[in-house]
Amino acid sequence: MTTENAYSEAMLGTTRLSEAAGRVLTALEAAGSEAWIVGGWVRDALLGNAPGDVDVATSAPWQESEAALEVAGLRVRETGVAHGTVTAIIGHEGVEITTYRVDGPYEDGRHPAFVEFTDEIERDLARRDLTVNAMAWHPARGLLDPFGGAEDLEAGVIRAVGDPRARFEEDGLRVLRAVRFAARLGFSIEEETQTAVRELAPLLSRVSFERIGAELRGILAAGAGGWPLREEREAMFAAIPELAPMEGFAQRSRYHSLDVLDHVCRVMDYVEVYTGGVASEELRWCALLHDIGKPRTLWVDERGQGHFYGHPAEGMAMTDEILRRFALPHDLRRRITTLVRLHDRPVQPTRASVLSILADLDELCPGAAPHLVRELMVVKRADAMAKAPAYRDYALEVDELDRMARELLSEDAPYRVADLAISGSDILEASGRAPGPWVGEVLRTLLREVMAGGLADAPDALASRAATIARALA
Ligand code: ATP
Ligand code: MG
């Protein structure tokens, strides 16, 4: 069955409504329901940014939406019927359709005691968090904007819908959502909303770690460098309490002219500079958390100089704990903790030293060294630039390390036992001895010697050296 799409030419600004969304509107209206495009799509289309998923709000209860969509020949999934949501699947696109909703009272600072459905779009828009997210658009009826979202978009302002304090008290996550959208759009936060963000940030303690983690990932994905931590530290500290002791934490060290927090903000800025604003998620988390272990590891020597021995190991443990809390994907967490652990490891511009950092990366995060070494260099460069002026030229040395790492990788220089031109079974066979842990010991010794440059990675040279080592071990 084919469905006529009455809105196939519909545009908002320079953004065309997808054919899928047009078909959904047509299907719902054919059944006598009212429907609007709402939320993020409207915001992004007005900004001329590439819009994400389309969300549709409708007067129809979900059962009626489902029936109307099926009559129009569309596939439907019941993706959240408790909240009135079904999803139409059209080709590769999913369009969420949600019944107009008013939230019941919030009793716990994170979700409404119940949701109530309504047939008024204005009431649905009023429950939304920010004015820029509380607009509806219809291809024939145009923009519905009861809270001045378009004007705020124009002015670059993030403003809560209604009384910011009341809205944040309903759901503490909105504090972080305000920061996320300000970071992503490069907007400022309107004064009253900003005051509420500062004062009510502690409400985040009532919100689940999963929701906080998802917003934090969104904040980092905005690529705003140190801005969130510098300007919205109350919200960031409430989201990750371990960040707070970095504020005003004097480093008492000639290497540093800033406190730990300002240093971290600058590293976050430089990471964006060095990656052209498209740093990976692991780099951004690493920049945020690389010195998280410093406040706990300060040791002041007899001349009054501060040292932070062990801060990378402490930082790695703390980072792991924080990222587990937010249920970040396991692989991502491992890449981040690896970078935090090694960010301060000295590397010299020699083959041996660069190979040894590759080996360390591989040990902590097997298989990821070729990619992680490049990211580690970005962190090291950014870290150097955020130190006292006299120590910034280390960043130039990092350029040389980076060049060497690329060269070693392109010539397949060995940094793992498996890279050697000899295998465990070769060694066993040549020796005639029974297998045992000694084989691994021989291989590791060979690798160390090859990496140090004293032994060629060639089968004959390795075999004869292996025999000597094996004899010494016997
Ligand atoms: P994104 O492109 O990041 O997905 P979005 O605007 O679609 O942006 P979502 O988090 O997907 O953001 O939420 C969809 C819409 O639902 C928002 O535009 C907003 O209107 C509303 N919304 C989401 N979360 C909340 C919340 N915690 N409180 C109030 N309204 C919310
Ligand atoms: Mg969305």
- The model's pLDDT over 324-374, given as tens digits with 9 standing for 90+, comes to 999 999 999 999 999 999 999 999 999 999 999 999 999 999 999 999 999
The angle subtended at Cα 20 by Cα 14 and Cα 21, nearest 5°, is: 60
The alpha carbon of 96 and the centre of ligand 2 are apart by a number of angstroms equal to 10
For residue 150, is it within any domain? yes
| Global pTM exceeds 0.85 | yes
> In a mutational test of the pocket of ligand 1, which residue from 101, 129, 212 has the highest number of ligand atoms less than 8 Å from its CB?
129
**In this structure, which residue's CA is closest to atom 3 in ligand 1?**
40
Pocket of ligand 1 (CB under 6 A): 39-40, 52, 128-129, 133-134, 171, 173-174, 177
Q: Given the CA of residue 40, which atom of ligand 1 is nearest to it? A: 6
How many domains are contained in the chain? 4
For residue 27, is it within any domain? yes
SS3 at position 77: strand
> In a mutational test of the pocket of ligand 1, which residue from 100, 106, 108, 133 has the highest number of ligand atoms less than 8 Å from its CB?
133
Question: What would the pLDDT profile of 80-110 be if each residue is shown by its tens digit?
Answer: 999 999 999 999 999 999 999 998 888 888 8
The alpha carbon of 39 and the centre of ligand 1 are apart by a number of angstroms equal to 6
Last residue of a domain, one of 177, 212, 239: 239
Average pLDDT over residues 207-225: 98
- The pLDDT, as a whole number, for residue 299 is 87
* DSSP annotation string for 188-245: EEPHHHHHHHHHHGGGGGGS-HHHHHHHHHHHHHTT-TTHHHHH-HHHHHHH-GGGGG
CATH number at residue 443: 1.10.246
**In this structure, which residue's CA is closest to atom 12 in ligand 1?**
40
- The pLDDT, as a whole number, for residue 52 is 87
pLDDT-derived band at 468 (thresholds 50, 70, 90) equals very high
Rounded to 10 deg, the angle between the 281-289 and 260-274 helix axes is 160
What mean pLDDT is reported for the chain? 95
Q: Which two tokens stand for residue 390?
A: 């006299």
**In this structure, which residue's CA is closest to atom 22 in ligand 1?**
128
> In a mutational test of the pocket of ligand 1, which residue from 128, 180, 187 has the highest number of ligand atoms less than 8 Å from its CB?
128
421 in the same domain as 312 = no
- The pLDDT, as a whole number, for residue 249 is 85
Last residue of a domain, one of 410, 445, 463: 410
- The pLDDT, as a whole number, for residue 39 is 96
Average pLDDT over residues 155-176: 97
Question: What would the pLDDT profile of 263-302 be if each residue is shown by its tens digit?
Answer: 999 999 999 999 999 999 999 999 999 999 998 888 889 9
pLDDT-derived band at 1 (thresholds 50, 70, 90) equals very low
**Ligand located closest to 180 CA:** 1
Domain that holds residue 219: 162-239
For residue 57, is it within any domain? yes
Question: What would the pLDDT profile of 29-85 be if each residue is shown by its tens digit?
Answer: 999 999 999 999 999 999 999 888 999 999 999 999 999 999 999 999 999 999 999
Using the 8-state DSSP alphabet, how is residue 419 labeled? G
For residue 361, is it within any domain? yes
